[in-house]
Amino acid sequence: MSAWGREREARDARITAGRSLADGKHVAAADAVALLEAVLRPGDRVCLEGDNQKQADCLARALAACDPARVHDLHMVQSGIVLPEHLDVFETGVASRLDYSYSGPQGARVARMLSEGRIRLGAVHTYLELFARYFVDLTPNVALIAAVSADREGNLYTGPNTEDTPTVVEATAFKNGLVIAQVNAIVERVPRVDIPADRVDFVVAADRPFYVEPLFTRDPAAMTETQVLMAMMALKGIYAEYAITRLNHGIGFGTAAIELLLPTYGERLGLKGKIATHWALNPHPTLIPAIESGWVKQVHCFGSEVGMDRYIRERPDVFFTGADGSLRSNRAFCQTAGLYACDLFIGSTLQIDLAGHSSTITRSRAAGFGGAPNMGSDPHGRRHPSETWLKAGREAGGNGDPALRRGRKLVVQIVETFGEGLAPAFVERLDALAFAETLGLELAPVMVYGDDVTHIVTEEGIANLLLCRDADEREQAIRGVAGYTEVGRGRDRAMVERLRERGIVRRPEDLGIEPLDADRSLLAARSIKDLVHWSGGLYDPPARFRNW
């Protein structure tokens, strides 16, 4: 073969090496380790599907069990470091280099292994950024993915948790890479073809269904009155004032409380039909009351959520579903929708500094970012107007011709001033900077940069950073809502009061909210059982959330 076909020749050699273990394309789970040892080469770039929720866990276990004398120094390029096996491969020497986006459950172990030099870090990416590099300079040689079922030809049905699979397969299969899928079942005919057989080289019938994390489920019983108060302020002081219809919510109790206040407090404010109609969002169970009350017109999802399948199937007017009735999620498309088509992102973080920079990476935990840097950024490539976007742009001001002034995406951080273990959410200097110094990183892992943040909501009030005209005003606005943290106690009280007079800092009473009215009785559902009732019995929550 000519020099121009070397990659394809190498791919064919891998397939030939694995074919002795396969019946057509199908390989038994017991032979998964042997298959990987046959097709992998030292130094390969490997994308092991570790999504936000769906995990190719059978293949992860097989990869971790490979002989490091045969398979070593792999470069792992994957969205999520979620399972212990995702890091076991670095302990054994099977892998040595890592580029990733999110590592919530394994964040502490990632930080420790980085500091010990067991992992050579490329970068902590946002999802879209990592996906983009799959098509440029981090193209996988081998992709290990997960699907619900496959037929004999190798057509795959990914089901509601399609997530990253199409993106990973596209980048790998069309650049002479190898695609191996684990599936829960081999069937005569798949419900719909999500990944065509000509993009799949081997199929492993897993020993058990792939693991899915109910990442976005929040039990209303665990919500506090402080979170209710913050949600009330966000609804009245931001959602109502900017008439936000297109939005994304991050993970957390603060945003879940907002969802549960829409049919109650939102109704009282007369906001139905005026806000929160079109979403880029996983199917949060806490959104069920708002859907059932007619608030929500449409939701496009990054992935699914455990127990929501039947509910989604019966609400096709709201969700994107296939002819089989199941959800069709897609993380790359939904990230793009959140970046360019939404007017607001609201989420939480672990630390915020005096300029509004935030990060979920601390000295002891490298949790990564996921999609927050995409959702929580002002996309300068946007060219379509909306009144929300234009209003935020007008508030941000700026010099020059008003006709050339950009709008602004609203990026809101909703945090309690003290987090878990009474760790302050507001700090003089992000731990992420010390983390970068320790590891010798050229770029500190900041999640959302301060110049993208427009509002900060705490139990003390709202800081509207759009209205700040210099760094001093910005710092004092942040200090003004930082509560009894060291940052909050260091405020210039006179200046904060002047900012309050200008509407830059607003307390609950400035919004006409009585804090004593922030009661859990305002929540449309106060337990998981209530959510089941709202769904008409269609929501089937995971066992760990059932207490009845």
Blockwise average pLDDT, block size 10, the chain, 548 residues: 86 97 97 98 97 94 98 97 97 97 91 94 95 98 98 97 97 98 98 97 97 94 97 98 98 97 98 98 98 98 97 98 95 97 97 96 85 94 96 86 88 96 95 91 93 98 97 98 98 98 98 97 98 98 90
Residue 289 and residue 359 share a domain: no
Q: Is 1 exposed, middle or buried (0-12, 13-18, 19+ CB in 10 A)?
A: exposed
**Predicted local confidence at residue 1, as pLDDT:** 54
Query: CATH code at 69?
Result: 3.40.1080.10
Closest by CA to 371, choosing from 167, 542, 118, is 167
Give the position of tokens 């920079």: 357
Residue 222 and residue 184 share a domain: no
**Predicted local confidence at residue 402, as pLDDT:** 76
Compute the distance between CA of residue 105 and CA of residue 362 in angstroms, rounded to an integer.
14
Please indicate, yes or no, if residue 527 is contained in any of the structural domains: yes
Compute the distance between CA of residue 295 and CA of residue 512 in angstroms, rounded to an integer.
24
**Predicted local confidence at residue 401, as pLDDT:** 80
Closest by CA to 104, choosing from 48, 146, 52, 63, is 52
Please indicate, yes or no, if residue 211 is contained in any of the structural domains: no
Please indicate, yes or no, if residue 543 is contained in any of the structural domains: no
- Total domains in the chain come to 3
**How many CB atoms are located within 10 Å of the residue 88 CB?**
16
At 284, which amino acid appears?
H
C-alpha distance across the termini of the chain, in Å: 66
CA 91 to chain centre: 27
Residue 293 and residue 227 share a domain: yes
**Predicted local confidence at residue 363, as pLDDT:** 80
Task: Provide the β-strand partners of residue 55.
Answer: 50
Q: Is 6 exposed, middle or buried (0-12, 13-18, 19+ CB in 10 A)?
A: exposed
Give the position of tokens 């990230």: 335
At 475, which amino acid appears?
E
Please indicate, yes or no, if residue 542 is contained in any of the structural domains: no
Tokens of 368: 């990564």
Please indicate, yes or no, if residue 126 is contained in any of the structural domains: yes
Rg (C-alpha) for the chain, rounded Å, is 24
Q: Are strands 95-102 and 246-249 parallel, antiparallel or unpaired?
A: unpaired
Residue 478 and residue 372 share a domain: yes
Strand, coil or helix: 176: coil
Closest by CA to 257, choosing from 526, 512, 542, is 526
Residue range(s) defining the domain that contains residue 499: 344-506
**Predicted local confidence at residue 399, as pLDDT:** 64
**Predicted local confidence at residue 398, as pLDDT:** 66
Strand, coil or helix: 88: helix
CA 118 to chain centre: 26
H helix runs in 210-270, sequence order? 225-234, 240-242, 253-261, 267-268
Cα separations in angstroms, 478 against 12, 486, 496, 504: 58, 12, 9, 10
Residue 200 and residue 89 share a domain: yes
Closest by CA to 529, choosing from 307, 243, 203, is 307
Residue 31 and residue 176 share a domain: yes
Residue 301 and residue 154 share a domain: no
Residue 291 and residue 398 share a domain: no
110: left (phi over 0), alpha (psi -120 to 50) or beta: alpha
pTM for the structure as a whole:
0.96
At 538, which amino acid appears?
L
Give the position of tokens 């470091």: 81
Cα separations in angstroms, 323 against 106, 147, 159, 283, 409: 37, 18, 12, 19, 35
Cβ 476 vs Cβ 495: under 8 Å = yes
Please indicate, yes or no, if residue 27 is contained in any of the structural domains: yes
Residue 264 and residue 305 share a domain: yes
Compute the distance between CA of residue 235 and CA of residue 34 in angstroms, rounded to an integer.
55
Helix (H) or strand (E) holding 35: helix 32-39
Compute the distance between CA of residue 275 and CA of residue 247 in angstroms, rounded to an integer.
9
Please indicate, yes or no, if residue 432 is contained in any of the structural domains: yes
At 527, which amino acid appears?
S
Residue 186 and residue 333 share a domain: no
Residue 314 and residue 425 share a domain: no
Please indicate, yes or no, if residue 236 is contained in any of the structural domains: no
Strand, coil or helix: 531: helix
Task: Provide the β-strand partners of residue 147.
Answer: 183
Residue 488 and residue 348 share a domain: yes
Q: What are phi and psi of 308, to 5 degrees?
A: -95, 0
Tokens of 70: 């045969």
**Predicted local confidence at residue 104, as pLDDT:** 80
**Predicted local confidence at residue 314, as pLDDT:** 98
**Predicted local confidence at residue 483, as pLDDT:** 97
